[in-house]
Amino acid sequence: MTEFPAEFKATIGRWPYNFFKRVTLGQLILLLVVYLLLAITIHLNFKKYIHQQAKQQLSQNLYLLKSIVSRYLLDDIRSMCLVAREPLTIPRITLITIDGTVICDSEHDPDFMENHFDRPEVIMAKSEEIGFAFHYSKTLDVSMLYGAILLSPQPYILRVSVPLSELDKAIALFDSLVFILFIPLVFLGPLFVLWFAFKYHRSIKEILFRMYQINRKTRSYSAPSSTHASISWNISENIEKILADSEENLDRALVQTTIENIKLNTLMETNVDAIVAIDNEQKITFANLNFQKNFLHGKAVSTEREIKICDLIRNQNVNDAFSSALKQLTPFFAHDISLTITKEDVNPDNVNAYFDLTVAPIVLKEGKYTAGALGVFHNIEERKKMEQVKLDFIHNFSHEVRTPLSAIQGFIQLFQQEMDTLFTTKESKGHYYLAKIDQNSKRMVRLFDNLLQLATIESKIELANETVPTALITDEAISLIAPKYKDKNITLNINIPSDAEDLYGDSFWLEQLLINLLDNAFKYTPPNGTIDISWKRFKTKEDKTADKILLEVKDSGVGIPTKYLDRIFERFFQIDPSRSAAIGTGLGLAIVKHIVQKHNGKIEVISKEGQGSCFRVIFN
């Protein structure tokens, strides 16, 4: 048992006794007031109920009398005043005219009775057919209930009175019983408080002593002098200050914790990695937005639906990493894991992505226990794509360079073997071999030129922003490309309306865009075909205030198979390598795409195999 110091006993230690003494006195006063109000309420309601029952009984008798009296003439009605009340056990009956004159009364001579015109029950009966009133009868020296009813067809009012003496006695008896019943209840409450005080006095004193110790340790309490032997408001204020200081510190800690949680939550939700937390049973307790998008169809983790990580992601490497981290309390890593993910507008069963996984246990109490584990799925899909692009680039580039070099080497060997007979005539093979060497060397030059163009446009951060005449760059591009294909006899149709005569951009690169699109159209358009070039200014439905420029290059060529439409802008991609190896490098449309992107534009292609192609470029 705790031994309390004298200073505590003389001051705060006396507080429970004084506190419960004040509480007991206050409760006694409160109970007296409550019980008094309750007794008055019960008395009034009981009296109201008794009077209501009396009025209801009297109303039934009035209607019964009305049905009897209405059948008689006036002389007969007067005689009824004396005899009607005997079988009905009604003390007094009075018959009154509409103007209040008493015609007959069962107990008094009507000639000596005053006019009843202003009686409340009579006034109410004239307006509502039946009326009631409570008032004191001087004649009988008792409280009475009066009831009046309008007779028909004769214009008289029949009034009946009932004494309330017996009812008043019953109400007084009920009040006495209520008073006798409430007397012990008034004292039971304070007695219970006193019993509670004696029972828990020691426990409350222990709590106060702990507060006293906190007070002394935090130096927020100054010990009072020995004269404060009884409870004082200063002591209670000091105790309140301790609690207020503790609450303030707690609020400050809660605010700081809330801020840290917001920071952590923001960090988690904005992280590009998919992050998930599990408990010791491998149930998911937290998942950030990227994890929800990739593995939960965009749905948040709910407490009602318990999901285990092993049931959600059925991959042995993932399950082993989480299990090992929980068991061995050390981080685990897994690389190049192929997982099925969910994406919008895509069948999730057909979408796979590669991840690097890091799983770290959430360690508590100096590394002895865990509260679960945290897993970070780092999407390496872009890295995989870049690696694949590099491999494809090396393969395609080596193929593109090897083909003309092999041709050049072959023709050089033929030169060496047949040097004496190669140039004997104009029709000799030497001229043919030289033409092939020249053709393949030019193809290599075009290849390196295109690579240089692609590297240049990709490395440029900003392009020139100048007014570019559309007619001028169109004529320049045609003059450079059309002569190469003059033997095809292709018809060119050009349409440049007055509102599309210029646009803003880099004139050099816009001309290069047109050159590559026209070169592509001429290559795949058969002889005697047509190529349409059109410029157009328009407004979109979404934004009717901003003008856009549309460039369309449409040909009547061989068209593009639908399965290749998504790949035609890739580097070195060619639909028919065996046919196009002699006429292109596979970089033209890739250059076009990058030029459009640098101008914040959009490019799309509409094509069907055998029906030609239409390239549409939209400039903002």
274 three-state secondary structure: strand
Segment holding 550, helix H or strand E: strand 547-555
483 preceded by a cis bond (ω within 30 of 0): no
Q: What is the mean pLDDT of the chain?
A: 77
Q: From edge to edge, which strands make up the β-sheet containing 102-105?
A: 102-105, 92-97, 156-163, 142-150, 130-137
Residue 612's φ and ψ, nearest 5 degrees, are: 85, 180
Amino acid at 47: K
d(CA 8, CA 333): 61
Write out pLDDT tens, residues 358-402: 999 988 866 667 889 999 999 888 877 776 776 666 566 656 666
pLDDT, residue 73, reads: 55
For 586: left if phi > 0, alpha if psi spans -120 to 50, otherwise beta; the answer is left
Position 328, amino acid: Q
pLDDT of residue 346: 46
Question: Quick one: how far is CA 504 from the chain centroid?
Answer: 43
Residue whose entry in the numeric block shows the structure tokens 């200063």 = 234
pLDDT in tens, 583-618: 566 778 888 998 898 888 899 999 988 889 999 999
pLDDT tens profile 503-518: 989 888 899 899 989 9
Look at residue 217 in the predicted model and tell me its pLDDT. Answer: 52
List pLDDT tens digits, range 459-471: 665 678 889 999 9
| Mean pLDDT within 474-500 | 91
Q: What's residue 204's pLDDT? A: 66
Mean pLDDT of 317-331: 89
Where does the pLDDT of residue 345 fall: very low under 50, low under 70, confident under 90, or very high at 90 and above?
A: very low
Contact 352, 340 (CB under 8 A): yes
The residue with tokens 């004159």 is 101
Which of the four pLDDT bands, split at 50, 70 and 90, describes residue 105? Answer: confident
Torsion of CA 315, 316, 319, 321, to 10 degrees: -120
For the record, the structure tokens of 16 come out as 């429970």
Distance CA 79, CA 106 (A): 9
Question: How are the residues of the chain apportioned to helix, strand and coil, as percentages rounded to the nearest 5?
Answer: 55, 20, 25
What's the pLDDT at 358?
A: 93
